[in-house]
Amino acid sequence: MLPEIQIIKTQNPKQKPEDESTLGFGKRFSDHMFLIEYTEGIGWHNARIEPYAPLQLSPAAPVLHYAQEIFEGLKAYRRADGAVQLFRPEENAKRLNSSAERMCMPTLDVEYQVKAMQTLVKVEEDWVPHCEGTSLYLRPTMIAVGEELGVHPSNHYLYFIICSPSGAYYKNGMAPVRIRIEDRYVRAVRGGIGAWKTGGNYAASLKAGAEAAKDGFDQVLWLDGRENRYVQEVGAMNMMFVLDGKLVTAPIEDCILPGITRKSIMQLAADKGMTVEERPIELTELFEAYEKGTLTEAFGTGTAAVVSPVGEMCYKDRSMKLSGGKIGPVAQAMYDALVGIQTGALPDPYNWITPV
């Protein structure tokens, strides 16, 4: 039996953002957080919503030394009628459990995770922003919090959810991004952890990201870690290419994060009559298609990034400029269809919405 959620409300509510148009991503946090603990032999216990505050951890906690950590990202959206809804939260809960399994951590019942998200968002309802392009970003996280330095799975875990009222992930909103195709560093290798949402993947990407930023790029597009031959994904989003009028994306295997936005866009595109292909994409194929004029668009997909058009992709000294630096028609159509469902402006024939 999973525990009831105790609710302890803050006595000192924070000031809500006055100007929602300048929120940015993940900079402000709401008044409360959800927490539940796991101890081997006892199971999950001590579930509560309490005031948002720093965590107390042993300096010997395995998360701090060996990165036994997993996380998720999803959003609560405000509809025009004022109601609040979540987009495919059970998919995030299932993916968290898949990451838990990969990182030798305990799983947590999917329905219970969704109930925790709904209960927390209900408490934080006033923190869900109203302005177009904004939402309350939820960050479910699980960390190993035992007290022991041996390298093996911990016997004590903390799962928590924090909420951040957020706007666009990239500083220029939905404007086309500039991407460096990375040729020196790799993100994921066969048999590694690339397909799971664990902090180590992001730590490993920081140096390439920082060097790319210094050279004027927004993100890095990773190639496979074996041959530097196939395109994989970008640091915080999956990649889609419009090739010969078809929507093409790389297969997940064990190197690419199985994005929930990716899966949703593949379905929306197919239902709009587009041919959708999930297959290995060679970098040389992209250059050849670009020369021929059959690579017409590239865009990223992700919870934080939504649908993010790519204006330019550079590999060493070669460059591909796409859609005349504008938002391409497929990216725009996918953005409109997805955001329409997420915000309740369009009907939801797929049952992707969970009311709060």
Positions that interact with ligand COI (CB under 6 A): 73, 236, 302-304
Q: Which does 257 bind (CB under 5 to 8 A by kind): ligand PLP, ligand COI, none?
A: ligand PLP
Return the residue of 303, 308, 323, 343 that touches ligand PLP, per CB under 6 A.
303
As a whole number of angstroms, the distance between CA 72 and CA 140 comes to 5
Nearer to ligand COI, 61 or 74 (CB): 74
The nearest distance, CB 18 to ligand PLP, in angstroms, is 28
Q: Which stretch binds ligand PLP (CB under 6 A): 57-65, 285-293, 300-308, 341-349?
A: 300-308
The nearest distance, CB 11 to ligand PLP, in angstroms, is 34
Nearer to ligand PLP, 89 or 302 (CB): 302
Residues 6 or more apart in contact with residue 307 via CB below 8 angstroms: 174, 261, 265, 299, 300, 301, 331, 334, 335, 338
Question: x/- binding map, residues 230-259, to ligand PLP, per CB under 6 A?
Answer: ---x--xxx------------------x-x
Q: Are 257 and 196 in contact (CB under 8 A)?
A: yes
Return the residue of 73, 129, 140, 146 that touches ligand PLP, per CB under 6 A.
73
Q: Are 24 and 166 in contact (CB under 8 A)?
A: yes
- Number of helices (H) and strands (E) in the chain: give both, helices first: 7, 18
Q: Which stretch binds ligand PLP (CB under 6 A): 4-12, 24-32, 161-169, 299-307?
A: 299-307
| Ordered DSSP codes for 183-218 | SS--S--TTSSTTS--HHHHHHHHHHHHHHHHTT-S
Q: Are 239 and 298 in contact (CB under 8 A)?
A: yes
Nearer to ligand PLP, 123 or 248 (CB): 248
User: What's the burial of 143, exposed, middle or buried (CB within 10 Å: 0-12/13-18/19+)?
Assistant: buried
Contact status: 134 vs ligand PLP (CB under 6 A): no
Nearest to 354 by CA among 159, 98, 75: 75
Nearer to ligand COI, 33 or 320 (CB): 33
**Chain residues in the site for ligand PLP (CB under 6 A):** 73, 233, 236-238, 257, 259-262, 301-303
